[in-house]
Structure formats: C-alpha cells, structure tokens
C-alpha cells in the first residue's frame, strides 16, 4: 500500500458505528477512495443504506450487524471482514452512545451499558485489530476521539469518562508496540462538535432537547480528517479551533474550565425546545430506520475548517512560510542596496 492509501489491491477497512453519524461519513470517505469497508453497527437499515452509498462511490462494503459491547461479536466481525476482503489495513473505532444527564440521575445499569459500548467497544475493536495486525507487523488503528477526552463537561460523565479512558489505554498500547518493535500505528482524531443524530437518539434525562455545543461541524469535515489520519502516521490529529482551544485551555487552566463549564455547560448543551416524551433511546437497542450521517443542525453546521485544512497541509504551509520569509528578506536587502 502506498502512503496515501491508494493501492492496486483495495485497502481493507473496518469502521465501527458505521450506520449513522460520523461513522457513516467515514465509511463513505473510504468508499470514495475505492476501499473495501466492513461496517459494524446494530441498525440494519442504516447499515444497508451505507453499503449502497459506498458501492455507488466505487468501493465495496459488507454490513455486519454487531453490538460493539460484545467482544465475541466484534471478533467475529473482524473474521468475517478478512474472509470476504482480506487482511485488514485500517480499523476505525467510532461507535458510541451516551446519556445526557447529571451524574446523580444516572442508574448504575445505564452507566455500565454506556461504558461498555463507548469504552469497551473501542477496547474490543482494538483487540480484534491488533490480533491480526501484530503478527503481520502492519496496519493502522484510528480512535475517533474528542476534545472531551481532554476537557470533560457536565451532563456527559459516562461519555467523558469513556473518552478519557480510551486515551489512557491507547497511550499504554502505543508504548507496548514501540517496546516490541511492532510497526502498527495507533492514532487518535480529536473532534469538535459535529452535526450527527446522537442528539436525538442518545438517552436523555434533560428537560430540553440536546445539542452539540456550537460551533458545529458537518461529519464530512471529520471524515476527511480521519482518512488523512489513517495514512499520515501522526500521533493525534485535532479537528477545528474549538477542539484545539478546549484541549490547550484545559492544559493550562483546568480549574477555570470547571467554573466556566459550571456556568455555561448545562445550557449550551440544550436547545429551547422541550424534550419529547416519546424520544427514542439507542442505549440498549438500535433505533429503527436509516438516520444518515447528519443530524438536525444542517443550517448551523460548517462544512469546512480552516484549522483542519492547515493541519492536514502543514508541510506545505511551513514551506510557504519559509519561502515567504526568504523572499521578504531578499526584498528588504535589495531595498537597502
């Protein structure tokens, strides 16, 4: 496989949580590049729709209904993908669920389930991928992460806990791979707020409807960054200024962050519309129907990120800056003469 992921034999990729939201956009992005994509999620309507989209874009796809909290099912999914498409080149862990509620209102049972899906789902995915990649000494695992893996926010304790845990176990495994001289690459992509269906189907105990904390980006912005991260061999890729600010702000002023979020974080995660009493919840079962990649925030979501573009092209940006500097120096010297 060449460094940009183009190869004679199609790249073999697994995406968890590929039936909707960010995962659906990621799966499409790989499909656009001709990949063979194994799609792991539970909802069969979304999975089937994703297969058709990828095939239309020129890739191949296999829908494998899987609950990522079940490690045997994830292992069986990996096996199925390799039987159908060959050795897995890239594994993208992305599936998640959450509960929008203050910690004291969440039952132990719900907390456990959210953690099993959002944290252990990544652990089982990473295990299944490494079981295959380690002996071959090649492959890339992408952890779809979040600014909230660095800066936790109110009403999201199961999710933030899981995202922090993913960062911890990923760093641990990365060191083990380096120690063992294994050339499998582990990377994380830190996301900002994204316009996806999660805000309409994750369980909520809040009076008003959930929303991502603006500014909001479209899932396709993320999909491009994940495709880039799968081939760039960087340790982490952060998408959008809001995520950069949250991560760096928390490094220097974590206490200030606690106070700021105590004042703003509850309201900024809810709209003015009251929550519907019949709102679905995807915590234990998938929600029927095809929900696509986008949520209900198309009008407020940005389909480009200058920060992400600069980050993905930083070699060119640095070369341009050096060239500009040299040119300006030469002009100044010419004027002095």
Ligand X SMILES: NC(=O)c1ccc[n+]([C@@H]2O[C@H](COP(=O)([O-])OP(=O)(O)OC[C@H]3O[C@@H](n4cnc5c(N)ncnc54)[C@H](OP(=O)(O)O)[C@@H]3O)[C@@H](O)[C@H]2O)c1
Residue 191 binds to ligand X (criterion: CB under 6 A):
yes
Distance CA 327, CA 337 (A): 16
Contacts from 316-324 at CB under 8 Å and sequence distance 24+?
Answer: none
User: CA angle, 146 as apex, 110 and 134 as ends, to 5°?
Assistant: 90
Q: Give the range of 5-13, 21-29, 83-91, 326-334 binding ligand X by CB under 6 A.
A: 21-29
Closer Cβ to ligand X, 109 or 180, answer by number: 109
Lookup: tokens for 277:
């009493």
Shortest gap between Cβ of 303 and ligand X (angstroms)?
15
Shortest gap between Cβ of 114 and ligand X (angstroms)?
9
Closer Cβ to ligand X, 182 or 280, answer by number: 280
Distance CA 107, CA 181 (A): 43
Residues in 192-231 at the binding interface with ligand X, rule: CB under 6 A:
193-194, 196-198, 212
Cis peptide before 215 (omega within 30 of 0): yes
Binding residue for ligand X (CB under 6 A) from 62, 95, 123, 237? 95
Shortest gap between Cβ of 336 and ligand X (angstroms)?
52
Binding residue for ligand X (CB under 6 A) from 38, 59, 286, 292? 286
Residue 78 binds to ligand X (criterion: CB under 6 A):
no
Lookup: tokens for 134:
């380690």
Q: Give the range of 94-102, 230-238, 258-266, 269-277 binding ligand X by CB under 6 A.
A: 94-102
- Catalytic residue ranges: 159
User: For the purposes of burial, counting CB atoms within 10 Å of the CB of 226, is it exposed (0-12), middle (13-18) or buried (19 or more)?
Assistant: buried
Shortest gap between Cβ of 67 and ligand X (angstroms)?
4
**Torsion angles phi and psi, residue 91, rounded to 5:** -120, 120
Distance CA 164, CA 119 (A): 9
Binding residue for ligand X (CB under 6 A) from 67, 82, 258, 290? 67
Asked if residue 157 lies in contact with residue 148, where contact means CB atoms within 8 angstroms, the answer is no
Shortest gap between Cβ of 199 and ligand X (angstroms)?
7
Binding residue for ligand X (CB under 6 A) from 11, 12, 19, 170? 19
Q: Which residues pair with 36 in a beta bridge?
A: 12, 60
Give the residues lining the site for ligand X (CB under 6 A). 17-23, 41-43, 46, 66-69, 94-97, 117, 144, 146, 191, 193-194, 196-198, 212, 282, 286
């Amino acid at each position: 496989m060449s460094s940009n992921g183009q190869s004679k034999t199609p790249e073999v990729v697994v995406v968890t949580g590929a039936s909707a939201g960010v995962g659906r956009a990621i799966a499409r992005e790989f499909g656009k590049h001709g990949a063979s994509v194994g799609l792991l999620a539970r909802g069969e309507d979304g999975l089937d729709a994703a297969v058709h989209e990828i095939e239309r874009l020129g890739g191949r796809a296999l829908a494998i209904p899987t609950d990522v909290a079940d490690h045997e099912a994830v292992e069986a999914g990996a096996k199925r993908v390799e039987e159908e498409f060959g050795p897995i080149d890239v594994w993208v862990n992305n599936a998640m669920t959450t509960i929008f509620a203050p910690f004291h209102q969440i039952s132990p049972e719900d907390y456990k389930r959210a953690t099993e899906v959002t944290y252990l789902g990544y652990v089982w995915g990473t295990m299944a991928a490494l079981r295959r990649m380690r002996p071959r000494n090649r492959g890339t695992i992408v952890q779809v992460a979040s600014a909230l893996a660095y800066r936790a926010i109110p009403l999201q304790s199961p999710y933030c806990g899981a995202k922090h845990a993913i960062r911890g176990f990923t760093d641990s495994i990365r060191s083990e791979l380096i120690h063992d001289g294994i050339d499998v690459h582990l990377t994380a992509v830190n996301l900002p707020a994204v316009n996806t269906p999660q805000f309409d189907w994750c369980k909520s105990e809040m009076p008003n409807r959930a929303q991502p904390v603006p500014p909001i980006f479209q899932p396709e912005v993320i999909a491009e960054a994940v495709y880039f991260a799968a081939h760039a061999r960087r340790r982490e890729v952060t998408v959008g200024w809001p995520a950069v600010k949250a991560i760096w702000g928390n490094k220097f002023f974590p206490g200030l962050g606690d106070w700021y979020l105590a004042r703003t974080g509850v309201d900024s995660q809810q709209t003015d519309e009251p929550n519907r009493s019949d709102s679905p919840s995807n915590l234990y079962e998938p929600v029927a129907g095809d929900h696509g990649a986008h949520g209900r925030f198309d009008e407020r979501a940005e389909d480009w990120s200058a920060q992400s573009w600069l980050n993905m092209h930083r070699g060119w940006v640095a070369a341009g800056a050096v060239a500009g500097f040299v040119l300006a120096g030469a002009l100044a010297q010419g004027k002095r003469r």
